[in-house]
Structure 1
Amino acid sequence: MLREGEVRIPSGCAVSAILNVKGRCINGEAITQSIACMRERSNGLGGGFAAYGIYPEFKDHYAFHLLCETEQGRLDAEELLRQNFLIDRSEPIPTRKVIGIENPPAVWRYFARVRPEKAVGCSSTAEGNLVTSVVMKINKHCDRAYVASSGKNMGVFKGVGFPEDIAAFYRLEEYEGYLWTAHGRFPTNTPGWWGGAHPLGLLDWSVVHNGEISSYGANKRYLEMFRYRLELQTDTEVVAYLFDLLHRRHDLPLELVCRVLAAPFWKDIDRMPEPQRRLYTALRQVYGSALLNGPFSIIVAHGKGLIGLNDRIKLRPLVYARKGDFVLMGSEESALRRIFGEPDEVRAVWGGEPVIVELEGGSAQ
């Protein structure tokens, strides 16, 4: 299988998202129709979906989705999981044969709880660090086994193929979630492979991305200082880990996390009132290595909501819409209208200005 970096393909991608702010669940058909509407933006080298609220019977378990190219890799990954977690269920993820999906790896899921002896006196941050550490070890040390997602009551379903074919492969019409994101890939610099497809996930974070993070090298070195290991060799990986680092571990509000990643220009900071100028100067001084450069539009999902973010001068498209209790984001307005027709509100997401939407009440019903 070709790996990331072995060829160069110039490009663009498609992203889409649906959130019901009241936490009401819908099946995977709507998001599939939305991303399929933008088929011309992808080339069959990657597609994927993230879904939240899909495992209510295991809502307090970490749901590990694994992509395993070898059986030994899966067994090694399972052993790492068992050393740190109690596994209450493990099974292949249900799939069907689909024309266009060739040579898929084994796709497996584990529903697990942290072992009691490791959970004693363990804060939520420390527990998250444990999960992160195990994910990094699996990705680095287990022979061609990779963690697609590791959050609670959510999962990432991705692979090599057009996104609508990936949806059929994973039988997403059988799942119901209150939040869905989707990605159609047209790799920028690299070939498609299952581990490098989007969404990129860690804990309950998942990221879909159109564009190119030209600061990947600097961002990667910065994250490695905090023991993140980037093994999937796709620039989107840094975005997922930066959100985890800055919000979960450093406790920055999501608004400020976005202002770190797509920071105001210095000329704009200089014109701010004194309190703001001091804040944004400090953020750029402390978190300069977390700044994302390059053209990008990003949709970040987590258990409590959705974030849309463009690069500072908006070199990639991203549209926001609202229809009743549903919030929609995507690369093209047509993909949003494909779901619910005429929206109540529709507008562009401006460069460097995040759109942050949270569930009413802070959690799904």
Structure 2
Amino acid sequence: MCGIIGVIDKRRQCMDGSRIRESLTMMDERGNGEGAGYAAYGIYPEFADAYALHVFFDNVSENKPALVQELESKGMIIHDEEIPTFEAGIKKVHTPWRFFFTPDTSNTPKPGTTADDIVTDIVMRVNTAHRGSLIISSGKNMGVFKASGWPEQVANLYRIQDYKGYLWLAHNRYPTNTAGWWGGAHPFNLLDWSVVHNGEITSYGTNRRYIESYGYECTMYTDTEVVAYLVDLLVRKHGLSEKLAVRALAPPFWDEIDAMPEKEQELNRALRLTYGPALMNGPFAICVATSDSLMGFTDRIKLRPLVTGEYKDRLYISSEEAAIRRIEPDIGDVHMPKAGEPVIGRVIA
């Protein structure tokens, strides 16, 4: 049911959030008012080198001091403030806050620990152990804005049109296996990775056990969180290209591999044997963003819709052709990728 839309300007030319709001609202029939959200890249140029941590607090005065202590023990807070919100017909059950943070890698217990490793550890620790605090995004020069509501309500809550980014990702949720609440709305994020998803990952249990064996903590009890962590593991930690990561997550069937040329057989067999527990089953269409790319792909038999189109320097990926045309009426033809075939747009400037 869920509606997804993503757009990237390959030359990093910024666009405000008004069009992505209109586009997501076009897919209101794919949601039920229980969750919507937006991820935007390039929105914090004045703090571009710091990690922008977006946080939900249940109670700022009670919950913020422990998080500040956690961050200051791992690095430096450059700036923090409440994220502005406005009347939008949404019950405000959490207070959104943002911290601009730089980790200190000079004194870590484990040699070779990177800034990304420190921030990942903070996210896992806070979301697991700090009651009343939830880090919902943690990348550089980007942020996630989400809540329980219709797409237009969530956009009005944060005044999405006031933000300007070169890459946007948005999602309209129809909760199925988990309750509708602010933290359960998409996008899901870790570092620069943001994920929106339509469908159901029926292999969630296997995928979750696999990712937790690498130290990730799954606290949202939803399959999209696991997808975000799988992408981080395969691409950032294991060094796979995005295409190979998709091949591991949504691989060809064995009979298709048997029909491939010998070298392709070897590669695809190796991926399936190495990353068997990461293989995702079920009907899904997924869109993944990072600071320099936007990628979309579906399950191996395409049980959920995904369409793409390009116009000038921009790539669009969505559940619906109409959503793409709402942003760019002059786009011309759209393309429907094959099952399991990734569509990737990268920045070139």
Where on the TM-score scale, by shorter chain, does this alignment land: which range? over 0.9
Work out the CA distance in 1 between the residues paired with 2:249 and 2:151. Answer: 28
For the residue of structure 2 that corresponds to 1:321, the secondary structure is: strand
Corresponding residue for 1:176? 164
Are 1:219 and 2:207 an aligned pair? Answer: yes
Question: Structure 1 stretches of 5 or more lacking a match?
Answer: 1-11
For the residue of structure 1 that corresponds to 2:281, the secondary structure is: coil
Deviations 1:163-198 (A, max 9, x none): 111111011111100000100000111211111110
- Please report the TM-score for the alignment, with normalisation by the length of structure 2: 0.97
2:178–2:221: 8 Å Cα contact kept in structure 1? no
Corresponding residue for 2:303? 315
Work out the CA distance in 2 between the residues paired with 1:229 and 1:78. Answer: 21
Question: Structure 2 stretches of 5 or more lacking a match?
Answer: none
Corresponding residue for 2:96? 107
Work out the CA distance in 2 between the residues paired with 1:328 and 1:219. Answer: 28
Are 1:65 and 2:54 an aligned pair? Answer: yes
- Please report the TM-score for the alignment, with normalisation by the length of structure 1: 0.93
For the residue of structure 2 that corresponds to 1:43, the secondary structure is: coil
Query: 1:116, CA displacement in angstroms?
Result: 5.5
Corresponding residue for 2:80? 90
Work out the CA distance in 2 between the residues paired with 1:114 and 1:164. Answer: 35
Query: 1:97, CA displacement in angstroms?
Result: 1.4
Deviations 1:123-179 (A, max 9, x none): 6x7221111110000100111311110000000001100111111101111110000
For the residue of structure 2 that corresponds to 1:50, the secondary structure is: strand
Corresponding residue for 1:5? none
For the residue of structure 2 that corresponds to 1:252, the secondary structure is: coil
Letter matched to residue 38 of structure 1: M
For the residue of structure 1 that corresponds to 2:116, the secondary structure is: helix
For the residue of structure 2 that corresponds to 1:346, the secondary structure is: coil
Query: 1:119, CA displacement in angstroms?
Result: 7.3
Work out the CA distance in 2 between the residues paired with 1:85 and 1:344. Answer: 49
Work out the CA distance in 2 between the residues paired with 1:234 and 1:325. Answer: 34
Q: Number of residue pairs matched?
A: 348
Q: Percent identity?
A: 47
Query: 1:122, CA displacement in angstroms?
Result: 7.1
Shift in alpha-carbon separation, 1:315–1:138, aligned structure 2, 3 A: same
Are 1:33 and 2:27 an aligned pair? Answer: no
Corresponding residue for 1:306? 294
Work out the CA distance in 2 between the residues paired with 1:116 and 1:136. Answer: 18
1:323–1:345: 8 Å Cα contact kept in structure 2? no
Are 1:185 and 2:173 an aligned pair? Answer: yes
Shift in alpha-carbon separation, 1:219–1:345, aligned structure 2, 3 A: same
Runs (4 or more) in structure 1 with deviation over 4 Å come to 119-123
Letter matched to residue 285 of structure 2: S
Work out the CA distance in 2 between the residues paired with 1:14 and 1:127. Answer: 34
Are 1:136 and 2:124 an aligned pair? Answer: yes
Work out the CA distance in 2 between the residues paired with 1:85 and 1:186. Answer: 38
Work out the CA distance in 1 between the residues paired with 2:338 and 2:136. Answer: 30
